[in-house]
Structure 1
């Protein structure tokens, strides 16, 4: 199996992106390793996005299809529904306002021939539009290499623009039936969190410590680059834990229901090991909740001590102590009477 035997489709979810999409498409079309197709799913834009994409498609050296949704889907479903149309062996999510390094797909393709790779992720450069400042955004990637299944925190995600994944991941479970997002609980889990969850369960992840996309920071970003807190003032920590508990329990059910053929497509998938991994994470969340439902400061502190002794604050993927979680739980206890 060689690099040339693997193909890549690029999927772009667009909505009122006329200010940036021309530059983005040029950086995708001119890749040194050409994608076999570019699919732009427009979510009922009210600006000139569709017209700009059509004008570029008319002269593009890469097949470029634009699909205008019948109704506004939101970026989560827009990305995933568009990805179902892709024909490539691998699919690259692409945001409408980014700029790709011209060798992004060439760098990624070096890992596509490895049979156990389920997804490839990379670092980025974060560009603040207001200041022009460019900062490397590592996403925690320290070096280029391959990680085995279940190497990440159960709730970790990589930003969608940095993910290239095997198309088969889309067909492991019904995307319309996916569980609630633990970050935005009133929505189904986001496209990137869904793919990272499935990808790390069934196969290896290739990490590239290279900034292969310039990620713009501007006023209309839906999410930042991870360096800023998005917690609302006065957020409810018990409700937040409940959201994580609910999502994690649902993750376990998704793993239980993965089809038997998963082991054939992804030989490294170990259903029992994966279920145990997420069950440990669920147990930790439920034990941490006991701190927050304690009726007094002493009871809360004692719950923290029990959790420390019971290994609740040790991450399930690295067995490292979560000092921030301990500090957060103790801080909450300090507010109790």
Structure 2
């Protein structure tokens, strides 16, 4: 668990660990310099917890991804569950995921569904996977760290997460997806609390039903955001860091993973090439931009993008 000013909600999540039918062997918490009562709450909890609790306070603020990376680097278990500070697990979460892991030893990362709630933990009758499917998105878009359990084998392959990468769950899930080693169990095993300080603003995390139409309209609205150009640059930078990471993992991994990693590397490089080409199109004047977008479309350049929305994005500039 990575914490930062989590005093408002963390007690409920800690208690849900105690109420597990199969309790954790250890709980590793890294705190990113909280100024509230988070540390006091955790240390008081540790005094009576029926399992080992380690609390580590970072010497300097590492940010969201860096904080989770620090926590993951301190774990020792064969199967590591990631936890946010403001959710609540159902009692059979660990027991169920362990049984799935035993049945599918080839799965290096396992994910469960989560019930969306408001800040008061009141159900809104929607789940994360349900929202993704309603939006017409593939399960590749299911990248949610608090629903992940990760085998030691994957952690040893891809940790540490390099500085500059923004999301620990993207790092882990992108590797698992690319290696064909992600397993999604659509059993709901926890609450996912949505409130004003949540880090993720992904549309499928909304507490109102998401439809294909809403996703399209949201995508069109995003075309006109002032920071759209910077977001594109940031996206390319993240892909470059990931591509370098895949190469580093491939250089140090067992031979049985090389083919999948090479394919993942090639796919990532292709994504970078596509995004760079689209960025160049958006820099042109309007008429040449329209023409360039259409040429790129006819050459199949938008094949692995969001399709019409991507074309419109580039035409808008």
Within a 5 Å distance, the mapping from 1:262-277 to structure 2 comes to 262-264=253-255, 267=257, 269-277=259-267
Measured after TM superposition, the shift of residue 17 of structure 1 is 1.6
Q: Which sections of structure 1, spanning at least 5 residues, go unmatched?
A: 1-11, 143-150, 181-187
Number of the residue aligned with 2:245: 254
- Structure 1 residues 232 and 201, CA, compared in 2 at 3 Å: closer, same or farther? same
State how far apart, in whole Å, the 1-side matches of 2:8 and 2:121 are: 18
Match in the other structure for 2:63: 74
**Alignment partner of 1:118 is 2:95:** no
TM-score normalised according to structure 2 size: 0.82
Tell me how many residue pairs correspond in the alignment. 298
Q: Distance between the aligned counterparts of 2:67 and 2:94, measured in 1?
A: 22
2:150 pairs with 1:165: yes
1:285 aligns with 2:275: yes
- Gap runs ≥5 in structure 2: 207-217
Distance of 1:311 and 1:244 partners within structure 2? 21
* 1:138 to partner: Cα distance: 1.7
Structure-2 separation of matches of 1:169 and 1:239:
32
SS class of match (1:38) = strand
Equivalent in the alignment of 1:90: 79
Is the contact between residue 126 and residue 225 of structure 1 (CA under 8 Å) also seen in structure 2? no
Q: CA RMSD in A?
A: 3.0
8 A Cα contact 1:123 1:141, kept in partner: no
1:130 shift after superposition: 6.6
Report the Cα distance in structure 2 between the residues aligned to 1:106 and 1:216, rounded to whole angstroms.
22
Contact residue 132 and residue 139 of structure 2 kept, 8 A: no
1:131 and 1:88, CA in 2 relative to 1: closer, same or farther beyond 3 A? closer
In structure 2, the CA distance between the partners of 1:232 and 1:323, relative to structure 1 (3 Å rule), is closer
SS at match of 1:95: coil
Spell out the pairing of 1:32-181 with structure 2 (5 A cutoff): 32-113=21-102, 114-129=104-119, 132-134=122-124, 135-138=126-129, 156=141, 158-173=143-158, 175=160, 177-178=162-163, 180=164
Q: TM-score, with normalisation over the residues of structure 1? A: 0.77
| 3-state secondary structure, aligned to 2:108 | strand
> Displacement of 1:152 after TM fit?
7.2
**1:13 offset after TM fit, Å?**
1.0
The 1:173–1:161 alpha-carbon spacing in structure 2 relative to 1, beyond 3 Å, is closer
The 1:47/1:279 distance shift into structure 2, 3 A limit, reads: closer
- Matches of 2:245 and 2:262 in 1, distance apart? 13
Name the residue aligned to 2:211: none
- Distance in 2 (CA, whole Å) between partners of 1:190 and 1:174 is 13
Matched, 1:301 2:312: no
